[in-house]
């Protein structure tokens, strides 16, 4: 089994996202969210899988794998750019390869609401993109960076683990740094980035309080900061951030968050009518009302209601996004019901929407 053969399978299927390689099984490909075997390949032996996995790694990555038993990196090859995760399971190698396109899709091509354009070119503040793994967070932020790059002359610095989508300078200067090879940690890099005359900073993921602190401080200094969190909606995102800190620090964190947070974009991918997938998108913008709800822990639960009533500001909940997708015949009712936050409530909203 050769890398080129697998990548060819991944790139020739327009709706494919991942390849899975596991001992004792045929390679599997994920298309439109569903896994299926690649029947033209043989079942993989332990030796063949190990040889394949080792061929993907450089010496530094091999050393990391020996210590951690897993490694995550990106490669460029014919057909595009790919994110590779190699791990150990039951004493053998496992490999997952995800395709990341060289092409920069626009905000419109990703079917994101126009308010995302507004959030992309804010002069300062913190904008978070959230969702589960594979929901389109990285692609969304790449489209926002590309939007800035096409319109404005700004200094954009990214810190990623790994670098997935490569950016070329158009109107902006873009420096992309990778954890491990270019810097030791998100928090460590941010201490130095703020001295590198940035306008826009992208932190690949907020994983801990130290990184969150650095992101908020960078925003306070007048930078526009993008990052991602593995949460499903705006309310959960606020609560997750607060829970990163001990109770005695949470009041101060709420004050910092209320002053720096400008918006939260949350994503869920659904099967699209006619094939492919399309995002349902929740958008929260930090209005004066939302700011008060962030400050007061007893009122944070009211954020969703404020979003439902915030269409003037470009806000929408997931259920409102689902109804829009249904009305425009981009998804079917069954998939909308499965994605809805509460099936009964969604039916009521659907009937009121006509």
Q: pLDDT tens-digit profile of 289-343?
A: 999 999 999 999 999 999 999 999 999 999 999 999 999 999 999 999 999 988 8
Contact (Cβ atoms closer than 8 angstroms) between residue 87 and residue 70: yes
Q: Which residue ranges make up each domain of the chain?
A: 3-100, 115-316
- Alpha carbons 11 and 17: distance in angstroms, whole number: 9
- Alpha carbons 313 and 36: distance in angstroms, whole number: 42
- Alpha carbons 224 and 187: distance in angstroms, whole number: 16
Averaged pLDDT for residues 71-94: 89
- Alpha carbons 43 and 49: distance in angstroms, whole number: 10
Averaged pLDDT for residues 130-148: 96
Res. 187: pLDDT tops 90: no
CATH architecture, domain 3-100: 2-Layer Sandwich (3.30)
Averaged pLDDT for residues 148-175: 95
Res. 102: pLDDT tops 70: no
Contact (Cβ atoms closer than 8 angstroms) between residue 255 and residue 295: yes
Element (H, E) at 94: strand 92-100
Averaged pLDDT for residues 201-217: 96
Pair of tokens at residue 67: 């210590």
The region of weakest confidence among 176-185, 197-206, 304-313 is: 176-185
Strand duo 224-229 + 200-203: pairing: parallel
**Using 50, 70 and 90 to split pLDDT, how confident is the model at 242?**
very high
Res. 101: pLDDT tops 70: no
Strand duo 92-100 + 80-89: pairing: antiparallel
- Alpha carbons 46 and 113: distance in angstroms, whole number: 46
User: Which stretch, 87-101, 141-155, 184-198, has highest mean pLDDT?
Assistant: 141-155
DSSP 311: G
Res. 3: pLDDT tops 70: no
Per-residue pLDDT tens over the stretch 27-63 = 999 998 889 999 988 999 999 999 999 999 999 999 9
Percent of the chain with pLDDT over 70: 97
Identify the CATH number of the domain defined by range 115-316.
Answer: 3.40.50.300
pTM, two decimal places: 0.88
Across the chain, mean pLDDT equals 93
Percent of the chain with pLDDT over 90: 79
What was the pLDDT predicted at 16? 85
Instruction: Please list, in sequence order, all residues whose beta carbon lies within 8 angstroms of the beta carbon of residue 329, skipping any fewer than 6 positions away.
Output: 273
What was the pLDDT predicted at 206? 96
């Amino acid at each position: 089994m050769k890398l080129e053969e697998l990548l060819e399978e991944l790139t020739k299927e327009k709706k494919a996202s991942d390849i899975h390689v596991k001992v004792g099984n045929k390679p599997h490909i994920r298309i439109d969210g569903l896994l299926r075997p690649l029947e033209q390949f043989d079942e993989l032996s332990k030796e063949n899988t190990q040889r394949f996995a080792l061929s993907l790694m450089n010496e530094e990555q091999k050393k990391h794998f020996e210590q951690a038993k897993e490694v995550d990196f990106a490669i460029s090859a014919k057909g595009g750019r790919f994110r590779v995760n190699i791990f150990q399971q039951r004493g053998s190698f496992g490999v997952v390869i995800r395709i990341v396109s060289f092409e920069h899709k626009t905000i419109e091509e990703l079917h994101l609401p126009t308010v995302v354009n507004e959030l992309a070119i804010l002069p300062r503040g913190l904008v978070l993109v959230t969702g589960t793994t594979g929901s389109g967070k990285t692609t969304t932020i790449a489209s926002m960076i590309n939007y800035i790059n096409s319109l404005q002359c700004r200094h954009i610095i990214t810190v990623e683990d790994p670098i997935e989508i490569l950016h070329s300078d158009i109107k902006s200067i873009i420096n992309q740094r990778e954890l491990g090879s270019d810097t030791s940690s998100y928090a460590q890099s941010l201490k130095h980035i703020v001295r590198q005359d940035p306008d826009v900073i992208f932190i690949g993921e907020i994983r801990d309080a130290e990184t969150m602190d650095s992101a908020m401080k960078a925003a306070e200094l007048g930078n526009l900061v993008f990052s991602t969190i593995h949460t499903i909606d705006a309310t959960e995102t606020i609560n997750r951030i607060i829970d990163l800190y001990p109770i005695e620090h949470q009041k101060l964190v709420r004050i910092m968050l209320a002053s720096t947070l400008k918006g939260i974009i949350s994503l869920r991918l659904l099967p699209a009518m006619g094939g492919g997938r399309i995002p349902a998108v929740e958008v929260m913008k930090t209005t004066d009302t939302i700011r008060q709800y962030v400050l007061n822990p007893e009122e944070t639960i009211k954020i969703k209601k404020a979003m439902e009533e915030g269409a003037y500001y470009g806000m929408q909940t997931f259920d409102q996004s689902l109804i829009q997708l249904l009305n425009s015949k981009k998804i079917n009712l069954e998939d909308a019901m499965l994605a809805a936050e509460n099936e009964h409530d969604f039916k009521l909203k659907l009937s009121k929407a006509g």
